[in-house]
């Protein structure tokens, strides 16, 4: 029920519509003062009366007999405060959750609209490491959030599958590698060859030229070079696919950089025709001085194109292909300038949809070593932490905790997988996306406080309560849910659909993570404060229904985040 809209129907103010009044309604922070309020200060000048008097006069016109969802209307210090009938609110919220089930939180706000999301964007023949965690899980969560809001969503993995590094890799493979070695070692074997190439190139700089030579053969369509290039890509996608499966990540397109090789000439010609593409020291750039940015380099002096060139071609292709209403780029904040530049270039080309391109920036992720020091990552020098290893280590630690706390638990391997992987995803989605993240195994696996295992434990606790409960066919007596703990829990559950919308509007999955954490915390307060099983059957049924509703919302929220719940721990 939309309480603000329904309350607005009860209020008559000259010159204002119901929608106007509803938009002015606010939530009351102190729940002892009510649930919603209408500030009357803004009417004082027009009505030529004191705000308190205005509030009192409006209050006197409201007939609560036609508003069973309200228990009190009160004028307080220039505000008109409304208190919702707790039994009505509880029944309305809990019944809706139990009726809608997994559909609770769905909306049609995005119906008929398309959102493209560019995320993860792993590099071919390079490790899928801890640094890719945020873009992957933030993008995956946004994908599911927009699906829940009714949008047509296109998930795009803009693969890093072009550049001189592939020529270097072919050189290294032909010198020191074998097919058997790569098939057995997968990405790690490719990484070993890549590192060896750079080690040897420091001693013999001529190797760099050999790397450029082999990349030129790829560009020219040489059969052997293309076969090796395609094979490296196949090996990489096969390996990273295993990690994507564990993280619950999916894509609708794997069109990477190489896909746009034949799509860059048209935008470059268009820029030249508009007089925007100019020569600078042999290179071609778009000057952006008027917008307080350095030039956007689109073609180097040797004729090579750059990331910006490909991104412009990709944006145009996506608009032509998907006719998106928004295209999101889930990329670290270090690339802020890059996105500002190429977004501006697209705008200068005359594409009004440039305003629909959004850089969803996020912070950096680092991993602490055993001594508590951040790990410095460098693919070129082989200093990487594979994301698969992080997941394996977290699952292993979760398994050891289960062995200590509940050694007789059935299905320990599957439960440990869900807890461990879920802990990693949760830790990446809990803080605001723009914040840097320092990953710690001990912290993410803590069963207390703001962690994934804590919320999963709460879900398992709800399940245990429902499993222990005797058969109860009584009608629920929601007037029995009078405690502050129950009231606060119901309020949080009722907010869930709105928080999904806000998370979509702000590109911020952490809003869902924080809400579900608050729900888990509040349920545990309710659990310890009230005896859920026993006593009056109607009251017991209401408490059990609240437990069931809590369990459902935790499940739904974790589905959005890409985390699997566990029935027992």
Which distant-in-sequence residues (6+ apart) come within 8 Å of 361 by Cβ? Answer: 331, 332, 333, 335, 336, 433, 434
Q: How far is CA 564 from the centre of its chain?
A: 15
Q: What is the mean pLDDT of the chain?
A: 92
Q: Is the model more confident about 367 or about 12? A: 12
Please identify which residue in the block is written with the tokens 């049924």: 541
Q: pLDDT digits over 192-219, tens only?
A: 998 899 899 999 989 999 999 999 899 8
Q: pLDDT digits over 243-271, tens only?
A: 999 999 999 999 999 999 999 999 999 99
Whether residue 351 lies in the annotated active site: no
Best CA proximity match to 535, nearest among 480, 464, 478, 475: 480
Average pLDDT over residues 375-386: 62
Q: Please tell me the predicted confidence (pLDDT) of residue 371.
A: 72
Cα 95 to Cα 42, 138, 476: the distances in Å are 37, 31, 10
Token pair belonging to 387: 């994301």
Give long-range contacts, CB 8 A cutoff, 24+ apart: 450-454. 450/517, 451/423, 451/426, 451/427, 452/419, 452/422, 452/423, 452/424, 452/425, 452/426, 452/427, 452/563, 453/398, 453/419, 453/422, 453/423, 453/569, 454/517, 454/520
CA dihedral 533, 536, 542, 546 (to 10 degrees): -20
Catalytic one among 4, 129, 148, 326? 129
Whether residue 506 lies in the annotated active site: no
Which domains are seen in the chain, by residue range?
3-84 (3.30.1360.70)
Average pLDDT over residues 407-419: 94
Q: Please tell me the predicted confidence (pLDDT) of residue 213.
A: 92
Token pair belonging to 444: 């993410």
Which distant-in-sequence residues (6+ apart) come within 8 Å of 430 by Cβ? Answer: 450, 510, 513, 514, 517
Which helix H or strand E contains 391, and what residues bound it?
helix 387-405
Q: Please tell me the predicted confidence (pLDDT) of residue 366.
A: 79
Q: pLDDT digits over 36-48, tens only?
A: 999 999 888 888 8
Average pLDDT over residues 435-454: 84
Average pLDDT over residues 1-29: 89
Q: pLDDT over 90 for what percent of the chain?
A: 80
Token pair belonging to 426: 């949760």
Per DSSP, the three-state class of 299 is strand
Which distant-in-sequence residues (6+ apart) come within 8 Å of 150 by Cβ? Answer: 106, 107, 108, 109, 110, 111
Q: How many CB atoms lie within 10 A of CB 424?
A: 26
Cα 375 to Cα 192, 300, 417, 444: the distances in Å are 19, 35, 25, 17
Q: Please tell me the predicted confidence (pLDDT) of residue 134.
A: 95
Average pLDDT over residues 409-424: 95
Sheet holding 357-362, edge to edge: 152-156, 114-118, 326-332, 357-362
The pLDDT of residue 475 is above 80: yes
Strands 437-439 and 365-367: parallel
Token pair belonging to 348: 């200068």
The pLDDT of residue 383 is above 80: no
d(CA 519, CA 485): 11
Q: pLDDT digits over 166-201, tens only?
A: 999 999 999 999 999 999 998 889 989 988 998 999
The pLDDT of residue 377 is above 70: no
Q: Read off the pLDDT band of 544 (50, 70, 90).
A: very high
Catalytic one among 4, 86, 132, 541? 132
Q: Read off the pLDDT band of 376 (50, 70, 90).
A: low
Whether residue 198 lies in the annotated active site: no
For CA atoms 506, 512, 517, 520, give the dihedral sign.
positive
The pLDDT of residue 374 is above 80: no
Q: Please tell me the predicted confidence (pLDDT) of residue 373.
A: 73
Q: Please tell me the predicted confidence (pLDDT) of residue 369.
A: 66
Q: Give pTM, 2 decimals.
A: 0.91
Best CA proximity match to 394, nearest among 453, 448, 457: 453
Catalytic one among 4, 126, 198, 541? 126
Per DSSP, the three-state class of 134 is helix
> Residue 328 forms beta bridges with which residues?
117, 358
Q: Read off the pLDDT band of 466 (50, 70, 90).
A: very high
Q: Read off the pLDDT band of 380 (50, 70, 90).
A: low
Phi, psi of 508 (to 5 degrees): -130, 85
d(CA 522, CA 505): 26
Token pair belonging to 168: 């270097």
The pLDDT of residue 429 is above 70: yes
d(CA 336, CA 349): 20
- Where does residue 43 rank: exposed (0-12), middle (13-18), buried (19+ CB within 10 A)? buried
């Amino acid at each position: 029920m939309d309480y603000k809209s329904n309350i607005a129907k009860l209020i008559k103010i000259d010159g204002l519509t119901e929608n106007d009044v509803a938009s002015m309604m606010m939530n009351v922070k102190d729940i002892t003062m009510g649930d919603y309020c209408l500030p009357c200060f803004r009417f004082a000048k027009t009505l030529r009366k004191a705000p308190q008097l205005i509030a009192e006069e409006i209050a006197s016109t409201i007939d609560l007999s036609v508003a069973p969802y309200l228990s009190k209307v009160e004028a307080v210090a220039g505000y008109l405060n409304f208190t919702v009938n707790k039994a009505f609110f509880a029944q309305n919220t809990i019944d809706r959750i139990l009726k809608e089930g997994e559909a609770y939180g769905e909306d049609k706000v995005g119906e008929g609209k398309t959102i493209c999301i560019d995320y993860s964007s792993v590099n071919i023949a390079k490790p899928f490491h801890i640094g890719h965690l945020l873009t992957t899980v933030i993008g995956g969560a946004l994908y599911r959030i927009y699906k829940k809001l009714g949008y047509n969503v296109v998930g795009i993995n803009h693969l890093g599958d072009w550049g001189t590094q592939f020529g270097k890799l072919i050189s290294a493979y032909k010198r020191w590698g074998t097919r058997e070695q790569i098939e057995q070692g997968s990405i790690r074997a490719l990484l070993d060859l890549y590192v060896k190439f750079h080690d040897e190139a420091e001693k013999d700089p001529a190797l760099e030229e050999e790397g450029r030579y082999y990349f030129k053969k790829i560009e020219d369509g040489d059969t052997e070079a293309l076969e090796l290039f395609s094979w490296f890509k196949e090996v990489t996608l096969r390996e990273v696919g295993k990690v994507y499966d564990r993280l619950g990540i999916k894509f609708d397109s794997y069109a990477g950089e190489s896909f746009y090789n034949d799509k860059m000439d048209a935008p470059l010609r268009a820029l030249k025709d508009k007089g925007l593409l100019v020569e600078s020291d042999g290179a071609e750039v778009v000057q952006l001085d008027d917008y307080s940015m350095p030039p956007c380099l689109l073609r180097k002096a040797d004729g090579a194109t750059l990331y910006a060139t490909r991104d412009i071609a990709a944006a145009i292709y996506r608009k032509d292909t998907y006719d998106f209403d928004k295209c999101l780029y889930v990329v670290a904040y270090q690339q802020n300038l890059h996105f500002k530049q190429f977004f501006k270039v697209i705008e200068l080309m005359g594409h009004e949809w440039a305003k629909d391109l959004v850089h969803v920036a996020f912070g950096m992720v680092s991993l602490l070593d055993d001594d508590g020091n951040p790990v410095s990552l460098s693919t070129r020098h082989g200093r990487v932490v594979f994301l698969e290893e992080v997941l394996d280590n977290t699952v292993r630690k979760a398994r050891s905790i289960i062995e200590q706390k509940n050694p007789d638990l059935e299905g320990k391997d599957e439960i440990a997988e869900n807890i461990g992987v879920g802990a990693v995803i949760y830790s990446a989605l809990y803080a605001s996306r723009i914040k840097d993240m320092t990953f710690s195994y001990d912290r993410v696996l803590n069963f207390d406080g703001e962690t994934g295992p804590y919320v999963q434990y709460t879900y398992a606790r709800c399940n245990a309560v429902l499993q222990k409960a005797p058969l109860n066919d009584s009608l629920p007596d929601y007037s029995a849910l009078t405690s502050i703990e129950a009231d606060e829990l119901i309020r949080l559950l009722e907010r869930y659909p709105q928080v999904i919308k806000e998370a979509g509007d702000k590109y911020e999955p952490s809003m869902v993570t924080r809400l579900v954490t608050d729900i888990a915390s509040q349920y545990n307060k309710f659990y310890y404060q009230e005896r859920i099983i026993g006593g009056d059957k109607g009251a017991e049924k209401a408490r059990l229904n609240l437990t069931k509703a809590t369990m459902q919302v935790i499940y739904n929220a974790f589905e959005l985040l890409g985390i699997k719940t566990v029935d027992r721990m």
